[in-house]
Chain A
Amino acid sequence: MTTDTLLSVDNLRVSFRTDKKNTTEAVKGISFAIPRDATVALVGESGSGKSVSSLAVMGLLSPDAAVISPDSKILFEGRDLLVLSRAERRDLCGKDISMIFQEPMTSLNPVFTVGFQIEEVLRLHMGMSGKQARARAIALLDEVGLPSPETKVNAYPNQLSGGQQQRVMIAMAIACEPKLLIADEPTTALDVTIQKQIIDLIAALRKKHKMSVLFITHDLALVGEIADRVIVMRHGEIRESGDVRQIFEQPQDAYTKALLHCRPTLDTRPWRLPVIADYLDGKLEPQLKERQRGLTGSEEIVLEVRNLAKHFSSREGLFGKRVTHAVQDVSFKLARGKTLGVVGESGSGKTTVGMTLLRLHKATAGEAWFEGKDIIAMPDKEFMPYKRRIQIIFQNPYASLNPRFTVGQILLEPMQIHGIGANERERTEMAMGLLDKVGLPRTAFHRYPHEFSGGQRQRIAIARCLTMRPEVLVCDESVSALDVSVQAQVLNLLQELQEEFGLSYIFISHDLAVVKYIADQVMVMHQGKVVEMANSDDLYRHPAHPYTRALLGAIPKGISA
């Protein structure tokens, strides 16, 4: 590894115009360097300015909205990128510096074949002819590990899976042998097993082409597997930077420590997850005792599902019909006051199970027994009183709250519908009490959801469910869209509520570490079927099914020894 610097960012300041007069500073004077032939990871939660910094390097910030301070410098091989003309910058970007984005589905143009899109880069930057470019495109697709590249080169993006699309993006990015590859959360949208493959691919390509990689992510555990150096950012400032070993083994900054410990891990299960405030205030209790989980078999069963199935049919051709078996033959028992974790990758049918239980999708077959009644077979009218007793918290707190309702309206509505509380004053009192319970200020009552952060919104969604005092709560990827630190807070809240109200959770997630923390029992789903179901400690210790083992093996474990 050579020590000379490929890219150095010096005192970078970026502000965004919020309206005519005001600006907010997104990046507050950061400096870092990327050596040749090395991987540098930029880690931070949403709003930390990590993506903005990388966009500034690529020159992709809209000049109408973003202002880069005049004393900022971005030196690439000694040339200041910020003073180059647009044309010079364009020649450099795409050839010497290239980028992979988070969402491969939206980064590829859906109306062109992937071959055409790779060839375009080659023609523009390398001046290749059509035939040369085609041959090179096939070679590149082969290099990134796309099966049968000769036929896939003519495929349209929608004919490829998410992981394959990301491979195409990588092929496009390395097409011109760049010296610097910027990867902006390249695996966040992908399943955990695919994520592992992509990370390995990027690491292998980096070695082979002797390029440098700037890897941007929110996931510190992922960084340990790929990076040489780590830069931790928060609120537009660098909190800590250093060698990957040093960051993981002797973190100096409280925030870095918090990031490392907020995330549930596979090997321990603390009584309560530490949150960032614990570290920043220095009020961390030494070592919390471990929580024991699992079923003994003598618990009261609140919900029993038998042979649940859901088929979706789509029209194909003129008379044809295609049936997708989203869920097949799922059976489980949910014990009162306990949590059932449902794990699986996208398309495994785990969300559909939750939706069918709430009758948001109509089940094709199966039964769900709740208090001696089959809630799937009963008519809509009869189901109404059960609706308040089985509730759901959705994945995306940005989408599941009506943006035109104030928090107060959101909380009062279910009570009005179900006639809970004698009058509006009593209901308001109850709503205020719930705001306290979920840790939101009472002033939130008159505000709109868009004024709250993701974690706060998820608290509002939880409070909305609690207004109906449900017995079963389905959490559909409820913490997946949240930052690590916020995720810990919400998980702690769910835990506290379970203890206080004896709630039973069906916790649906793709994240095995989170499920390990919260679930007593775990059900692993794959392609609509249950492949394994066991008490969570047993499952994590002795995974029986090969698919479960593959899932567990793909989880990033931080630094590899």
Chain B
Amino acid sequence: MTDIQTSPGLWTLAWRRLRADRIAMGSMTVVLLYLLLLLSSASGLVAADWAREVGVNYAPPTFVGPQSADERIFGSTASDKEVPPENPLDPLKDIIRELRQQNAQPSSPVINDYGIPDPIGKEMAEIRQELAKTRNVESAAKLETLPFGADKWGHDIIKKTIKGSETSIIVGLVAAFLATLLGTVFGALSGYFGKAVDDFFNWFYSIFTAIPNMLLIMAVAAVLQHKGVLTIVLILGLTGWTGTYRLIRAEYIKHKAREYVMAADAIGASNWRKMFVHIFPNVSHVALVQMSIMSVSFIKAEVILSFLGFGVPVGVVSWGSMLNEAQNELILGKWWQLTAASIAMAVLVTAFSMFTDALRDALDPKLK
């Protein structure tokens, strides 16, 4: 009877514009690869055994080559073997020289760490030999090097990074969704109804923005008193809605005076219908872009929180907790965990930001 012919809506048109944009497609591919990784990691296909201690402590990446056990524990030990030059003014210089000579003699009886003959030296030496045997057995099972190195406990860095990505991205996305949801609903109510409702939400908004962000986050963290992924999501979501609120409120104020909303009023549409059926599809692109921007900033925020120790609990790994561990390792010259977490984060954040920019361009009605 009738020729059913559908026309492209806003999203189809936006998708077409997006597809024509090479940078957008490139960055979107990267983001999608991360999401794929996230899914396979969350479902246990990849990196489920990240907690297995497969390498020796701080096993370096393969291309660096293995390190000695002492190096693993104390960092570079080369300087220990150097004999410091003699100080001619030292009153103890004779004693020191004597001790050094004794120390240098291999045939002398067991000497303890202070250079004094040890009464239980022989027994201790036997115990040490026994210990060395067992340690050799264990070390044989663990790998000296791993493709991307290992951490303090010998966890494989690549698997740890994948598992960390899962936590960080989930935190970022879920928190951004929560913040956008709160911001959109508050903004819609405030902008649409105005008057007392608007005053109330503005008051609420003012309080949230008057407190420095970090302080607010710490306050919420203190109130929740529970370390966990959900806690971080709540912290970020509950403190991050303000920007979206402001934007969406302004959009609703602008749109509620538009003729199409008056037309909806004239045909008898309810407030709820006008707010969410009529106006929301016209401002949803703002919320979407806002959510995309916030995902990036919340991924970074999670890293900072975990770095400061407000983040994920012990036993859960995220990019932030990896960087937190890395600050101690760096003194020992173990740079691989830091590098892996940083690169993983930098690539995602850059790609996501570029994608957000392209998304905003594609959805911008002014460019139509």
- Listed in ascending order, the chain A residues whose CB lies under 8 Å from chain B are 19-20, 358, 360, 384, 387-388, 391-392, 394-396, 399-406, 413-414, 417-418, 432, 442-443, 445-448, 451, 461, 464, 468
Contacts and interface: CB of A to CB of B under 8 A. Distances in A.
Contacts of B6: 406, 446-447
Q: Which of A394, A400, A442 has the most chain B CB within a 10 Å cutoff? A: A400
Contact of B259 (A394, A432, A446): A394
B87 interface: no
Contacts of A448: 7, 9
Contacts of A358: 266
Contact of A414 (B5, B10, B267): B267
Given A401-B260, A403-B282, A446 B5 contact: yes
Interface string B5-19: 111011000000000
Given A399-B259, A399-B260, A402-B278, A360 B265 contact: yes
Contacts of A445: 2
A360 B263 CA distance: 9
Going nearest first, the 10 A-B pairs with the smallest beta carbon separation are A404-B281, A400-B259, A414-B267, A399-B259, A387-B268, A447-B7, A402-B260, A446-B6, A394-B259, A442-B2
Interface residues of B, number: 24
Contacts of B265: 360
B262 interface: yes
Given A20-B20, A360-B265, A464-B267, A402 B2 contact: no
A411 B50 CA distance: 58
Contacts, number: 79
Nearest to B258: A399
B9 A432 contact: no
A387 B262 contact: no
Contacts of A413: 264, 267, 269
A387 B7 contact: no
Given A442-B3, A446-B5, A461-B263, 15 more contacts: A20-B20, A392-B263, A394-B263, A399-B258, A400-B263, A401-B263, A402-B278, A403-B260, A406-B7, A417-B269, A417-B273, A443-B2, A446-B7, A447-B7, A448-B9
Nearest to B255: A402
A432 B269 CA distance: 22
B3 A451 contact: no
Given A388-B268, A403-B282, A414-B268, A464 B263 contact: yes
A392 B262 CA distance: 10
Interface string B241-282: 000000000000000001110111111110001000010011
Contacts of A468: 267
B4 interface: yes
Contacts of B259: 394-396, 399-400
Q: Which of B4, B258, B262, B273 has the most chain A CB within a 10 Å cutoff? A: B262
Contacts of A387: 266-268
A447 B5 contact: yes
Q: Which of B259, B264, B273 has the most chain A CB within a 10 Å cutoff? A: B259
Given A399-B258, A445-B2, A392 B7 contact: no
A447 B12 CA distance: 13
Q: Which of A20, A360, A403 has the most chain B CB within a 10 Å cutoff? A: A403
A404 B267 contact: no
Contacts of A447: 5-7
Q: Which of B3, B260, B264 has the most chain A CB within a 10 Å cutoff? A: B260
A108 to B, nearest CB: 22
A505 B267 CA distance: 17
Contacts of A414: 267-268
A468 B263 CA distance: 13
A360 B267 contact: no
Nearest to B6: A446
Contacts of B20: 19-20
Contacts of A395: 259
B267 A451 contact: no
Nearest to B262: A360
Nearest to B5: A443
A388 B7 contact: no
26 contacts: A19-B20, A358-B266, A360-B262, A360-B265, A387-B268, A388-B267, A391-B266, A391-B267, A400-B263, A401-B263, A402-B278, A404-B9, A404-B282, A406-B6, A406-B7, A406-B9, A413-B267, A417-B273, A418-B267, A443-B5, A446-B5, A447-B5, A447-B6, A448-B7, A448-B9, A464-B267
Contacts of B260: 399-403
A406 B5 CA distance: 11
A405 B20 CA distance: 25
B199 to A, nearest CB: 14
Contacts of A403: 10, 260, 282
Contacts of B263: 392, 394, 400-402, 461, 464
A415 to B, nearest CB: 9
Contacts of B264: 402, 413
Q: Which of B263, B268, B282 has the most chain A CB within a 10 Å cutoff? A: B263
B22 to A, nearest CB: 11
Contacts of B262: 360, 394, 400
B266 A360 contact: yes
A532 B262 CA distance: 30
A64 to B, nearest CB: 12
A418 B282 contact: no
A442 B2 CA distance: 7
Nearest to B280: A404
Nearest to B4: A446
A395 B269 CA distance: 20
Nearest to B261: A402
A266 B269 CA distance: 40
Contacts of A394: 259, 262-263
B18 to A, nearest CB: 13
B47 to A, nearest CB: 42
A418 B7 CA distance: 27
B275 to A, nearest CB: 13
Given A399-B258, A404-B281, A448-B9, A417 B3 contact: no
A451 B5 CA distance: 13
A524 B6 CA distance: 46
A443 B4 CA distance: 7
A158 B130 CA distance: 94
Contacts of A20: 20
A395 B258 CA distance: 12
Q: Which of B3, B262, B266 has the most chain A CB within a 10 Å cutoff? A: B266
A21 to B, nearest CB: 10
A406 B7 CA distance: 9
B132 to A, nearest CB: 71
A49 B4 CA distance: 34
A445 B269 CA distance: 21
